[in-house]
Chain A
Amino acid sequence: MIRKIWKSTVMTAILLFLYLPILVLAVYSFTDASNIGAIRGFSLQNYVTLFTTPELVRMILGTIVLALSSAAIATVLGTLGAIGSFYSKKGMASAITTMNQIPVVNADVVTGFSICILLVVVLGVSKDTFIPLAAGHVTLCAPFVFLSVIPKLKQMDSSIYEAALDLGASPFTALVKVVIPQIMPGIVSGFALAVTLSLDDYFVATYTKPATFDTISTYVVNATKGAQTTIKTALWALSTVLFLAVALTVAVMNVRAEKRSREGNGV
């Protein structure tokens, strides 16, 4: 009994620690307060500012486009890398896997800074071309796609691929028709992971982004440093929207997964 109470108290405390700060922001985003302090009244002003200020809208759309496009490239590269390493000889495969670990374990600051030094300072690529930024985000995301695809390849029944070859399919057709459909769940989850990583990134973006472009994270850091007024409170609204979007996605995914497992049990 005591153990049960103890358990639920700890759980509540942990959840409070995790969610209270976000809840505070969410509540304040619906007020006209300009500081976390006295609340004067209810207002949707922050949301109006968030979606009507061109600077903010451009920044949010830019971040989303960047995340989707760099995740797309990373997914292609990561998947190809995983398939390549899966069908390589053992020594080669372990070499690729080890190299893949380095960007994963490496601190983002180091990745961002070294890409900046290599591309911008040494090779003289202008940051305005978005190439350093895209390269940085792909470097950040691709290894994770690789990691989420590899297990699916290992689970795959390799005899189907061989059967396809025996039946006259070219290796390429077999790859597209047989291998990729089987590892699709891994590719999709890798893509989702890549999008999240790109949205989340601050360090790579600060070193490689063009000066006139901001992602949500770099923008928020600047805004909290200098700002005093409307934009800062509009960012509370942005946090709330982001939080709700993520919560909704997770909820939908969980419901669907549960449904699927129930259907699976039914059969």
Chain B
Amino acid sequence: MNQETFAEEAVSPEEHLKENSNYLRGNIEQGLTDPLTGSLTPDDMKILKFHGSYQQQDRDLEKERKRQKLEPLYQFMVRVRAAGGIVTAPQWLLLDELADQYGNGTLKLTTRQSFQFHGILKKDLKASFKLINDALLTTIAACGDVNRNVMCNPNPYQSAVHEEAYAHAVRLSEYFKPRSKAYYEIWLDQEKVISSPEQEQEPLYGRRYLPRKFKIGIATPPNNDIDIFASDLGFIVIEEDGKLKGFNVCAGGGMGATFGDSSTYPRLADVIGFIAPEEIIAVSETVMAIQRDFGDRLNRKNARIKYTIDRRGMDWFVAELQNRLGRELLPAAPYHFDTNGDRYGWLQGINGKWFYTLFVENGRVRNNGKRALKDALREIARIHRGDLRLTGNQNLIIGNVEAADKNAIEDILKAYHIADSAAYTGLRLSSLACVALNTCGLAFAEAERYLPSLIDKLDILMKENGLEKEEINIRMTGCPNGCARSRLGEIGLVGRTVGKYNLYLGASHNGDRLNTLYKEMLAEADILQELGGILQRFSGDRLAGEHFGDFVHRKKIV
């Protein structure tokens, strides 16, 4: 199928919008200068995603401002992508400043190793983009129907193989960036391309780009900290004699679903074969081309590759891939994942330098009274000669620290009352929450703002049952789209409405099994009561080393 000639097939309005956007330009530039509203037009809001920003509004103020005859407090989330989530200390300082100058004074470290700024007003959007690019970072394709940030274990110095995997992540990230110059014209005032379509083609994406977002990750066993099976396309590092032998390819993952629409569901990627390291770009490009050509362009809810695969069958998909590649995939190699969590504290890399994994609750970097995390990290970034790395679990690694600097960093953390991970329970250290209210337009319920207080209460139950050090993945999202991969939590809580959650139990501890619906529409008291009973049984009946997610299955609780 020729990507540039569309049959007269029915497509969603978004497809026309992309096609007519002149390669992602839309009317964003005019919209930015309209002084009467803090919003862009609905069409431009969609195109803006490709540039790395979502228009949102402060939902806490929605009713109040309506009464005040003011438009909603429109604001923008801006997502910064960096393959594997690695930035230098000077870059951190710029992002830190951006949060104060234009954002809401906080940084959100996301579950896909990106930075998010919230609360940026339209009038400051261009300046924010510019600042990010000045820091040699970018927001392009951090959102939108394209390949997004490529995830990878953020510590390339754990082994030589880690280092290679990271290099591949960077390659993928660069290779699949949109070619359109729209981003540079709109945000960075670069000269406008005189549009001859030939000059500015998207050889892979075409004028309509992909049917839906596309996520790639590379995981290095035994750590599945990036939740490889949640990816559209994943590569599992296969190591032989300390060298990268190749990758197991997996495809068809995706977390999103819609309540009440059974044609939507979370799905984990299936491992389909093995490839040599040098094949990674070609295989990725081919998988994306298949999705480009066969993905559902009529119904965005069914447009992810997981549905394309399920609709046509995995056999078809693998055959199509092999056909296009002109060769067969090799059989997958054996691999094993222990956990999808992070390992906290100091770790020495193969380069002799030190890496400190810091627990950042829900990835929110902010000052909270005495516990001034944002100030502490700024202070560290000022003296730090290494880098900073975001994990897929919303945590932060202070990386490449000289042995001599370890104390200084610890001292700063102490001075700002940032506790060592030892001070937290295993449950809290294994918790994830998405942003949800008050900025996310999709959220039905609280997540990030609520989970910490729920864990306070659960911690009491954990303690009562002697489980305070037990690492049970608990993940909360405000809606079933699953940004915090709630369906991969041993305990998953998905918001239904304000104050009510569906409780899911029994995902594996290493991210290779989804959880199962246990009960619906639970209020806090119900959640505590249900989990209280199960935790008590777990404490008494668990097998040695048995994880909570496995226990609830063995006991047929789900």
* Chains A and B bind each other: no
Residues of B near any A CB (own CB < 8 A): none
Residues of A near any B CB (own CB < 8 A): none
